[in-house]
Homo-oligomer: A and B are copies of this chain.
Amino acid sequence: MLVQKRGSSVRGSAWPRRLQKLYCLSVEQSQRTRQSYLGTMPEHGLCCLLLSLVIIVSCSLQSLASPTYRFPRFLGKFAGQTESHPQIEPQYETQYFEQRLDHFSFAELPKFRQRYLISTEHWLGPQRLGPIFFYCGNEGDIVWFAANSGFIWEIAPQFGAMVVFPEHRYYGESVPFGSKDEAYKNATTLSYLTTEQALADFSVLLTELKQNLSCKDCPVVLFGGSYGGMLAAWMRLKYPHIAIGALASSAPILQFEDIVPPETFYDIVSNDFRRESPSCFNYIKLSWGELKSKGQTNNGLEQLTKTYRLCRQLNKTEDLSDWLDSAYSYLAMVNYPYPANFMRPLPAHPIKEVCKRIDDCPAGTSILDRIYEGVNVYYNYTGEAECFELDDDPHGLSGWNWQACTEMVMPMSSSKESSMFPTYDFNYSSFKEECFKNFGVTPRPKWITTQFGGHDIHGALKKFGSNIIFSNGLLDPWSGGSVLHNISESIVSLVTEEGAHHIDLRAAGPDDPDWLVEQRTIEIKLIEGWIQDYHEQKKAAYSM
């Protein structure tokens, strides 16, 4: 029933005529698969049917007391690990651009150097209005995002496009105050790490770049995944004069305040496991209690240290819970249909594999031993690990946690009924206290929606804005906070049932399923349409 409602709603939406055929195929196909696992899901409303919870983090500035805080976790932490297994090795030049620290005041502050990667190899040049493909760098080293966004590099030649990957301020090499230590020192030095400043960086950089390359009329197309996808969508909305369109992949721009239920993220993670195996889901659901009981016994922490092959003695069970929670949540994000090495080397359909290991243990195996077998898939698929470090964030997440504690306040709960995680209710007062303790800053939880909207986004943008693709895979726990229905003729939603976190931005490969090939084809057609419209408009203006 629920499924029918969603299906018919999507199909009823306005859709660019040139793509109606392709899109209908895509919807019908996904309808079939959808029914296989949605039957048991709770209903939260039209946009957020499947949905659930989020994550956690051992806070980098100081360890958080129980109850564990659930900071929304994106992928940026892995972007520190540029050496590890890039998906592709794109060719580009590395450049630097001097930026103001505060674009929105005239306060005298030190400037900083923003790094950007640029390739003009396939660019048509200014005369032919060659497009500029601009990736909105997110919370990590831009080299890693460039290496893991093969789609953009692959399609650039057919568009004759220049490719630019600017780094987000305060990440990678683009840190103010001379060093990361100085930049991350306190709330005063961190205070300019905001989305609005990052968007202004991109806009100033693009304006200068276009001027220097004498291509002020060249159309800019924005790309971004995850937080970068949010930036791409917001930038198209805020700077329509600078970019003609945006592909915002897995961009949870609605994961704020009460726009979607706070259980959204963790419910989706849980459902990703349940659809593979209800028993696996149950083992995990039971494991938290087992863990807690074990930890309270004599030598319990020692035994857990041994069972889970930890490199250091476990101090409290919450650290282990966080580590497991983290694994499940990331597994849901990277639940790709082919073997991949995005954050870690993993097999195809990794959740299926995890559940197989958990379920297939000999009868009589304890729950905690089963969980160990399962989580080994995530943390040690290559079998090379001798022991495990629970702090899975060696590169520091404080930049993202600062953002989560200031503007990017994404309430995360997990419900007793639908989630396999420990029950947890987001409590803003405690969250606020924790942020103040960690960073000396008070969050502004309503600022993002004041600045960018979100409440009744369909109403607000139905006759405003254009040329945005929101692409989402429903396996991705972030999909629940994203735009899952078309808003207008040209602000559209591309939903794939079997997709995970911004899978469409990854390089094409021999194992890509048909729906992914098809999704990318649709995206290319839409972008071609934007550029074609732009050229026609220019031509009409010239001939006036």
Contact with B along A108-121 (1 / 0, CB 8 A): 10000000000000
> Contacts of A463 on B, CB cut-off 8 Å?
466-467, 490, 533
Q: Is the CB of B450 within 8 A of A204?
A: yes
Contact of A465 among B104, B108, B240, B441 (CB under 8 A): B240
Cα(A373)–Cα(B107), bound, Å: 47
Cα(A171)–Cα(B113), bound, Å: 35
Among the 9-residue stretches A73-81, A185-193, A390-398, A493-501, the one with 4 or more Cβ atoms under 8 Å from chain B is A185-193
Contact of A104 among B194, B452, B464 (CB under 8 A): B194
Cα(A207)–Cα(B449), bound, Å: 10
Q: Is the CB of B207 within 8 A of A106?
A: no
Given contacts A453-B241, A455-B241, A541-B459, contact A105 B197 (CB under 8 A): yes
Q: Is the CB of B240 within 8 A of A238?
A: no
Cα(A187)–Cα(B104), bound, Å: 14
> Contacts of A533 on B, CB cut-off 8 Å?
463
Contact of A106 among B191, B461, B538 (CB under 8 A): B191
> Contacts of A242 on B, CB cut-off 8 Å?
450, 453
Closest residue of B by beta carbon distance from A203? B450
Cα(A237)–Cα(B239), bound, Å: 9
A212 at the interface (CB under 8 A from B): no
Contact of A102 among B102, B464, B541 (CB under 8 A): B102
Cα(A106)–Cα(B106), bound, Å: 16
> Contacts of A444 on B, CB cut-off 8 Å?
106
Closest residue of B by beta carbon distance from A465? B464
| Closest Cβ–Cβ distance, residue A332 to chain B (whole Å) | 30
Q: Is the CB of B196 within 8 A of A446?
A: no
Interface residues of A in 174-221 (CB under 8 A from B): 187-188, 190-192, 194, 196-197, 200, 203-204, 207, 216-217
Given contacts A240-B465, A450-B203, contact A105 B459 (CB under 8 A): no
| Closest Cβ–Cβ distance, residue A416 to chain B (whole Å) | 30
Q: Is the CB of A406 within 8 A of B106?
A: yes
| Closest Cβ–Cβ distance, residue A461 to chain B (whole Å) | 7
| Closest Cβ–Cβ distance, residue A133 to chain B (whole Å) | 19
A103 at the interface (CB under 8 A from B): yes
> Contacts of A441 on B, CB cut-off 8 Å?
106
Contact with B along A515-544 (1 / 0, CB 8 A): 000000000000000000100011001000
> Contacts of A541 on B, CB cut-off 8 Å?
456, 458-459
A451 at the interface (CB under 8 A from B): yes
Interface residues of A in 452-476 (CB under 8 A from B): 452-467
Please classify how large the interface on chain A is, using the bins under 10, 10 to 19, 20 to 34, 35 or more: 35 or more
| Closest Cβ–Cβ distance, residue A78 to chain B (whole Å) | 26
How many copies of this chain?
Answer: 2
Closest residue of B by beta carbon distance from A541? B459
Contact of A460 among B104, B241, B451 (CB under 8 A): B241
Closest residue of B by beta carbon distance from A446? B207
Given contacts A204-B450, A465-B240, contact A455 B216 (CB under 8 A): yes
Q: Is the CB of B104 within 8 A of A188?
A: no
| Closest Cβ–Cβ distance, residue A284 to chain B (whole Å) | 37
Q: Is the CB of A450 within 8 A of B207?
A: yes
Q: Is the CB of B105 within 8 A of A191?
A: yes
Which of A104, A207, A449 has most B Cβ within 10 Å?
A104
| Closest Cβ–Cβ distance, residue A389 to chain B (whole Å) | 32
Closest residue of B by beta carbon distance from A447? B103
Cα(A108)–Cα(B186), bound, Å: 12
Q: Is the CB of B240 within 8 A of A460?
A: yes
Q: Is the CB of A187 within 8 A of B240?
A: no
Interface residues of A in 229-258 (CB under 8 A from B): 237-242
Given contacts A241-B453, A450-B203, A453-B240, contact A194 B459 (CB under 8 A): no
| Closest Cβ–Cβ distance, residue A216 to chain B (whole Å) | 7
Q: Is the CB of B103 within 8 A of A538?
A: no
| Closest Cβ–Cβ distance, residue A188 to chain B (whole Å) | 6
Cα(A396)–Cα(B278), bound, Å: 74
| Closest Cβ–Cβ distance, residue A493 to chain B (whole Å) | 17
Contact of A187 among B106, B216, B241, B449 (CB under 8 A): B106
Cα(A203)–Cα(B190), bound, Å: 24
Residue ranges of A at the interface with B (Cβ–Cβ < 8 Å): 102-108, 187-188, 190-192, 194, 196-197, 200, 203-204, 207, 216-217, 237-242, 406, 441, 444, 446-447, 449-467, 490, 533, 537-538, 541
Q: Would you give 14 A-B contacts (Cβ < 8 Å), ordered by A? A: A102-B104, A102-B105, A105-B105, A106-B406, A108-B187, A108-B188, A108-B191, A200-B450, A240-B464, A241-B453, A241-B457, A242-B453, A463-B490, A464-B465
For the complex with contacts A105-B105, A241-B454, A463-B467, 7 further pairs of A-B residues with Cβ separation under 8 Å are A104-B194, A106-B190, A207-B450, A239-B453, A240-B464, A241-B453, A242-B453
